[in-house]
Amino acid sequence: MKRILFNSTSFFLTILFVFGFTLRSCNKQEAPELPPVSSMVMDFSDFQSDDQSAKKSTEATYDNWSHAVGNVFAWNLITAFTMAVPVTVYSAMLDQTPVYLGNNEWQWNAVTTFGNSSYTGKLIGKRISNEEFTMEMYITAAGIINYTDFLWFEGTVRYDHTHGLWTLNYNPDEPVELMSAEWNKDFETEAFNMKYTYLTSDSTEAGNWIEYDYNPANTDYNSSYTISGSDNTINIEWNNINKNGRIKDPVFYSDEQWYYWNELLQDYIPE
């Protein structure tokens, strides 16, 4: 009888231990890992400027490369101007340890400077399923620029960082949706794509978008942009190692042909 009682007691204690551990785990899940800055910032590094250092020949022309740079530069300028503050504050969050708020919510905090102002960021992440969590970034500015708890961006992210969607607001003076940023990543192949879509409804650019694709399996042109406007779609493809590429712009060139540049960024016609 004593042995039976001992076994029953041990079983009961084991159940209590397992139940208590499970309850603690449910009440305080592990915090999600923040996705990298590259999940919201498109790579424009191969088209930063019209590379004068490559132009050594006075006989060569560089029109195709220059036209590609001009089209990419417009989007680069928009995103660099509007995303500078939220990206700076978000970058400071990546090294911070979040505070658990309860109800599957965590909060990251960071303070950083940009220009002549100090920015305090509050990032709230919430688990919504076994696959996804949401994020909201609120920023307070003090200095030459002042505002409190402005929602700069929000989004939904997969825990494995293979997909996410951000919505970026314009600024504290005009708290309207500016654009969305959607990305997909295949960690096995390293293929990656990101798409910006302009959202501001009272603008003629509403609905315009640019998509960046990188696929290392494509040896000729492993990178590309597709730029879509109200009356035209431009395709740009290049090799991010060799720097040669091509562009298709039906409105500018008045045809559906590809126009090429070589490793020196010079115009050429392939054989």
Residue 212 resides in a domain: yes
Q: Total structural domains in the chain?
A: 1
Contact 50, 62 (CB under 8 A): yes
Residue 1, domain member (yes or no):
no
Element (H, E) at 260: strand 259-261
Cα distance between residue 161 and residue 41, in whole Å: 15
Q: How many CB atoms lie within 10 A of CB 207?
A: 14
Residue 146 within any structural domain of the chain? yes
* 65: Cα within 13 Å, side-chain hemisphere: 25
218 in a structural domain: yes
Evaluate whether residue 5 is within a structural domain. Answer: no
Asked if residue 26 is part of any domain, the answer here is no
Residue 181 is part of which domain span? Answer: 31-47+62-268
Q: Taking residues 2-9, report their average pLDDT.
A: 44
Q: How far is the C-alpha of 77 from the C-alpha of 168, rounded, in Å?
A: 16
pTM assigned to the model: 0.84
Least confident of 24-38, 162-176, 198-212: 24-38
Is the pLDDT at 256 greater than 60? The verdict is yes
Could you tell me the CA-to-CA distances from 220 to 71, 117, 257 in Å, in that order? Answer: 22, 45, 17
Output the six-digit token pair for 81.
Answer: 């101007």
Instruction: Work out the average pLDDT over 164-191.
Output: 94
In a domain, 10, yes or no: no
Question: Does residue 103 lie within any of the structural domains?
Answer: yes
Q: For the chain, what is the mean pLDDT?
A: 87
